[in-house]
Each structure stands twice: as C-alpha cells, then as structure tokens.
Structure 1
Amino acid sequence: MQETSTKPYLLRALHEWCTDNGYTPYIVVRVDDNTAVPPAHVHDGQITLNISHLATNHLTMGNDYIEFESRFNGQVEQLFIPVAAVSALYARETGAGMGFEVTPSQAYPGGDDTDPQPASSASGSGAATRAEAPKPSHLKVIK
C-alpha cells in the first residue's frame, strides 16, 4: 500500500494556522493542463491566490485537489487545483509559510513573463487575487 503524501495535511494545517492568527493564506500554484484557474491571471506559468474564507466560497482542501469559487473582475470563477501543483502556502502579512516541491509538467500555454497584475474586484468582496506581497524566499521546500 502506498503511503499518503503529507502535503495536503500540511496545506490544511497552514491554512488553519493563518486563519487562527488573523493572517491571509495565499497559495502559489504551477499552472498546467490539470489546473483550472482564470488564464488572464496566470503569469510565467503560475498564479498566486488568496484562499482565505472571505475570498472563497465552498472551499474544499482535499488530499488530491483544492477546489473553490472566487470572483475575478466581478465574475464568479470555479477553480480546481491539484495539490501536486501547489508550490507554496504562506501568510500574506508576514511571509511565514512553507514551500513544496512541484514535479515539472507541461507549461501553461497562456503564461507569460509580464509583471503580475492584481485581479480587480469590488472592495470587500474577498476575491482571490494575485499576491501583492512578494513571494517569501525563506520558505523551506518539502519534498
């Protein structure tokens, strides 16, 4: 019997830790053909998303995938993210969190090298957005 990965358990624990401490949990995702996210917000083959309870609706953090609804530019989007595609989860306010190894896969065809642009939303809507905070460089990568 194959052992279950610790990654989904760590993601859920970090999400809970961020929430309990009043921080905003962000995930960094390597986007490929198995990932359903708004393509306009993918840059250089990845996207950073706010996964706080205020920014998401019907958030499910399972062992194989993360799924939720969120608003991007006023439009409700259904997001589907394989846990294997998550490269980091961190608190926006402090940068505390953890990095994870992601197996290279086919690059997202819509990715580009432009600077990240925040997804605009109505104030207070809690929409998932590109992170405005820089990705923490001190995150420990879990293999």
Structure 2
Amino acid sequence: MIDAKDSNSTRPYLIRALYEWCTDNGFTPFIAVLVDESVRVPTEYVRDGEIVLNISFDATSALKLGNDYIEFKGRFGGVARDILVPVDHVLAIYARENGQGMAFPLLASTSATESGTLSEAPVAVEKASDTSQSDTPPPEAPRPGGSGRPSLTRVK
C-alpha cells in the first residue's frame, strides 16, 4: 500500500488538466509563479517576488509540463529566453479571458500538516470580469485568502 506522503503531488496533474481545458476552450493559460533562486525567469519582469507567465502555444516554444518542472522558451521584449519553473512554485493557473482556474498553496515545504503529510488543497478561481482585449495587461494572479478579484472558493 502506498502511503500518502510517498505518492506524487497532484499539482502537476492539475496544472496539465487546466492547461488542456484552457486550450480546448480557446482561452489563454497563465501561471502565477513564486520566484526565488530556483526559478529561471527574466528578473526584470518579477514584481513582489512573483511573475505571471503566458504559457499558451502561441507564446511558448518547446513547452514541457513535467511533474517537477515547467520548461519552455518564451519571448520577453522581443528577446527569446529559457524559462524553468519548479512545479511547486506555481501559485495558480488560470484563463486570462475570464480568470477561471485554480490557486495552490505557496510551497509544498511550507504547507506540511501536523501529521507530516503535505496539504495540497487547491482553490478554484471563479469567473472574473472580462479582460479579453489584447492590449490589456494580464490579470493579477489569484491569491488564496486575498480580498480582491477574482474570488476564491475552496474545493474539497
């Protein structure tokens, strides 16, 4: 019998599922990422220790949504950059057009419960206002427990 602490995290599977849902429905998948020394992104685009990345087919090249890392090549200010994001640093994945998606706990290492197992309770993100105009900046990443839009609902 496999113990819960020995099983794989659900986070990479949920990210892949929501990425597929976004692309199947013609939405643009965005991820919000907590940035530290293990994340390889252009630092000039990092705000308050976070970055929001467009991971759509049109915005990336060689996208790999792995169990441990999300890797791709993306253009920032016209310059191609290699991006590497540990999956446990993904704070949320959501559709740019309507804000629907899922937010995750900050880091697996900081969300351990008293029993020592990981608590990965994802939070569904409900529909936000329409931001489908291409010249608008990406919506703010949903933050668990935040008071701004989009609102969050706990999924059990």
TM alignment of 1:63-142, pairs within 5 A: 63-103=67-107, 131-136=137-142, 137-140=150-153
CA change 1:101–1:75 in 2 (3 A) is same
Contact persistence 2:88–2:108 (CA under 8 A): no
CA change 1:89–1:73 in 2 (3 A) is same
Q: Give, in whole Å, the separation in 2 of the partners of 1:140 and 1:28.
A: 18
Deviation (angstroms), 1:51: 0.3
Q: Show structure 2 runs of 5+ residues with no match.
A: 110-136, 143-149
Contact persistence 1:57–1:70 (CA under 8 A): yes
For residue 11 of structure 2, the aligned residue among 7, 16, 29 is 7
Q: Partner residue of 1:118?
A: none
**TM-score when scaled to structure 2?**
0.70
Identity of aligned residues (%): 50
Q: Give, in whole Å, the separation in 1 of the partners of 2:91 and 2:60.
A: 19
Q: Show structure 1 runs of 5+ residues with no match.
A: 106-130
Contact persistence 2:32–2:51 (CA under 8 A): yes
CA change 1:6–1:104 in 2 (3 A) is closer
Greater length-normalized contact order (CA 8 Å, ≥ 6 residues apart): 1
Alignment size in residue pairs: 118
